[in-house]
Amino acid sequence: MTVPTLTHFAGGQRLAAHSTRTSPVYDPATGAVTAHLPLADAVDARRVIDDAASAAQAWGARSASDRAQVLFKFRELCLAHRDGIARLISNEHGKVLADARGELQRGLEVVEFACGIPHLMKGEFSDGVSRGIDMHSLRQPLGVVAAITPFNFPAMVPLWMLGPALATGNAVVLKPSERDPSCPLRLAELWTEAGGPPGTFNVLNGDKEAVDALLADPVVQAVSFVGSTPIARYVHETAARHGKRVQAMGGAKNHCVVLPDADLAQVTDALMGAAYGSAGERCMAISVAVVVGDATADALVERLSERVRALDVGVPTEGNPDMGPIVTGAQRDRIAGYIAAGVKEGAALVVDGRTHPRAQGPGFFLGGTLFDRVTSAMSIHQDEIFGPVLCVVRVASADEALALCDAHRYGNGVAIFTRSGGAARDFAHRVQCGMVGINVAIPVPLAFYSFGGWKESAFADHNQHGMDGVRFYTRVKTVTTRWPEGTSGASFTMPVLR
């Protein structure tokens, strides 16, 4: 079977690459190379950015209601093609089909929110700020904006950015992950089919060279990034140095605090989904359970160990497994390396995902791994592993649990399980983290709130979607109006309100 070579997307159609550099796209369930992805060079980047620039002004000049009509149609088409899109995601990412449909749904919720853009973009008006003078503010699009996205949500994270960016009247250059580019290309096709003007939603495929071209290009007004922390920091610093507006979400190490009064059956269910769903390749996955008291920890580890051993690991498009493979062989080996490091550092390995029958090949599978008696100094607690590995840390008190969460350099999501309203409220108020769940293990904000972490999980002050998305993709203009009759003479002093 010949392996296809993918393209960029510009001018409302797929665009063959100028560059001859490529990277392999895998089916992680078999390990086979299913496509070659072109990695953009400067010529590709120029073509795609110029194409966006040629479309931005006319799109921004259309009424907000008119743009919303295209977004409505785009949403309908995405839903009509939901199964096909989910299959593209599962085939290249490895997450199970139901999970792929779920991520599309969560992304489309941002599009639904953005359909309200005529209301969301409304400015302010003050009648008579001084004698015969009115003042109003309006929000205008930026022009061409770049969206740089990670492998783990090839539909949802691009839609976090595309929804508000397009609704507010910008043209977008999306630089998706090299690992799973087929879903973003399909979304661009559906946008065109929905009536999105050519050039408003472009895809530039590539690696660092493509990202660097976007970060330095004077046409690009703003950069939205989601990915790992070292790259988020680099994108934040580089884009800012080039005078761009930038938001950059990074990695995570999400803790779930379990107090002794928690319902352990509920905690076990919640942790299984939060730690092992999507093979742990979620920025909101729980990778550390901080358990207060040895008795609670003993009981929880016993329940979890049975369930982790019984995880159904399988081909993501066949049947309904709990967990599919890891995205690439390199990532699978990296996770296995952390499991080895955890053993060496003295943690108790309760379930070893490396010994799962599926992990013997073919494909990039690993079973679920459970560690007990992990300490904060160990690399498996310090680093983001981004795989199906759950670490149990034992502490003596709720205060010690809070201190452990706060001492970590990441602050994306955190959860607490308890039956005490007072303890939960106190924790939610004090914890240094951007998103908090109370008896909710994965507290991902809905589209009408905004998504973002604290500390090294996010750089710059705008979150993703919600009103923050509208603010990020627009700039405010404030207009002062006066319709005087006759002349009142020159004034050489600062005008003051009268």
Question: What does DSSP say about strands 245-249 and 220-226: parallel, antiparallel, or unpaired?
Answer: parallel
Smallest separation (angstroms) from ligand NAD to the CB of 224 = 11
Q: Which is nearer to ligand NAD, 231 or 366 (CB)?
A: 231
Piece of the chain touching ligand NAD by CB under 6 A; list 35-43, 206-214, 397-405, 480-488: 206-214
Q: Which is nearer to ligand NAD, 150 or 367 (CB)?
A: 150
Q: Contact with ligand NAD (CB under 6 A): which of 22, 69, 105, 228?
A: 228
Q: How far is the CB of 349 from ligand NAD (least distance, A)?
A: 24
Residue 227 makes contact with ligand NAD by CB under 6 A: yes
250 vs 324, beta carbon nearer ligand NAD:
250
As measured in angstroms, the least distance from the Cβ of 36 to ligand NAD is: 16
From the CB of 211, what's the least distance to ligand NAD, in Å? 4
283 is catalytic: yes
Q: Is 211 in the site for ligand NAD (CB under 6 A)?
A: yes
Binding mask 279-318 for ligand NAD (x = CB under 6 A): ----x-----------------------------------
Cα radius of gyration (the chain):
25
> Shortest distance, CB of residue 167 to ligand NAD, whole angstroms?
20
Peptide bond into 38 cis (omega under 30): no
Give the residue at shortest CB distance from ligand NAD. Answer: 227
We find the least distance from the C-beta atom of residue 465 to ligand NAD, in angstroms, to be 10
Q: Which of residues 358-417 bind ligand NAD (CB under 6 A)?
A: 384, 386, 412
Span from 82-90, 196-204, 228-236, 440-448 in contact with ligand NAD (CB under 6 A): 228-236
Residue 129 phi/psi, 5° resolution?
-70, -25
Residue type, 166: L
d(CA 347, CA 464): 36
Under rule CB under 6 A, residue 231 binds ligand NAD: yes
Using the rule CB under 6 A, give the single segment among 249-257, 305-313, 362-370, 486-494 that binds ligand NAD: 249-257
* CA–CA gap between residue 215 and residue 218 (Å, rounded): 8
C-beta of 27 vs 180, nearer to ligand NAD: 180
Out of 45, 100, 148, 190, the residue judged to bind ligand NAD by CB under 6 A: 148
User: What does DSSP say about strands 254-258 and 413-417: parallel, antiparallel, or unpaired?
Assistant: parallel
C-alpha span between 354 and 427 (Å, rounded): 36
Among 7, 149, 192, 287, binds ligand NAD (CB under 6 A): 149
> For ligand NAD, which stretch binds (CB under 6 A), given 24-32, 245-253, 313-321, 365-373?
245-253
Give least dist CB 333 to ligand NAD, A.
Answer: 14
Q: Does 224 bind ligand NAD (CB under 6 A)?
A: no
106 binds ligand NAD (CB under 6 A): no
Q: Which is nearer to ligand NAD, 394 or 465 (CB)?
A: 465
Q: Which is nearer to ligand NAD, 89 or 259 (CB)?
A: 89
**SS3 string of the chain?**
CCCCECCEEECCEEECCCCCCEEEEEECCCCEEEEEEECCCHHHHHHHHHHHHHHHHHHHHCCHHHHHHHHHHHHHHHHHCHHHHHHHHHHHHCCCHHHHHHHHHHHHHHHHHHCCHHHHCCCEEEEEEECCEEEEEEEEECCEEEEECCCCCCCHHHHHHHHHHHHCCCEEEEECCCCCCHHHHHHHHHHHHCCCCCCCEEECCCCHHHHHHHHHCCCEEEEEEECCHHHHHHHHHHHHHCCCEEEEECCCCEEEEECCCCCHHHHHHHHHHHHHHHHHCCCCCEEEEEEECHHHHHHHHHHHHHHHHCCCECCCCCCCCCECCCCCHHHHHHHHHHHHHHHHCCCEEEECHHHCHHHHCCCCCCCCEEEECCCCCCHHHHCCCCCCEEEEEEECCHHHHHHHHHHCCEECEEEEECCCHHHHHHHHHHCCCCEEEECCCCCCCCCCCCECCEECCEECCCCECHHHHHHHCEEEEEEEEECCCCCCCCCCCCCCCC
Does 153 interact with ligand NAD (rule: CB under 6 A)? yes
Among 150, 321, 353, 367, interactor with ligand NAD by CB under 6 A: 150
Marked catalytic residue, from 283, 391, 405, 433 = 283
Look-up: residue for tokens 């990074």?
Answer: 250
Closer CB to ligand NAD, 234 or 276, in the complex = 234
| Type of residue numbered 245 | R
Q: Does 25 bind ligand NAD (CB under 6 A)?
A: no
Per CB under 6 A, which of residues 409..468 are in contact with ligand NAD? 412, 453, 457
252 binds ligand NAD (CB under 6 A): yes
Q: Considering the complex, what minimum distance in angstroms separates the CB of residue 35 from ligand NAD?
A: 16
Residue type, 116: G
- Range 163-192, binding ligand NAD (CB under 6 A): 175, 177-178
Tokens, residue 61: 């000049």
Q: What does the angle CA 212 – CA 218 – CA 220 come to, to the nearest 5 degrees?
A: 75
Q: How far is the CB of 230 from ligand NAD (least distance, A)?
A: 7
Question: Is the Cβ of residue 26 or residue 151 nearer to ligand NAD in the bound state?
Answer: 151
Residues of this chain that interact with ligand NAD (CB under 6 A) are: 148-153, 157, 175, 177-178, 207-208, 211, 226-228, 231, 234, 249-252, 283, 384, 386, 412, 453, 457
Catalytic residues: 283
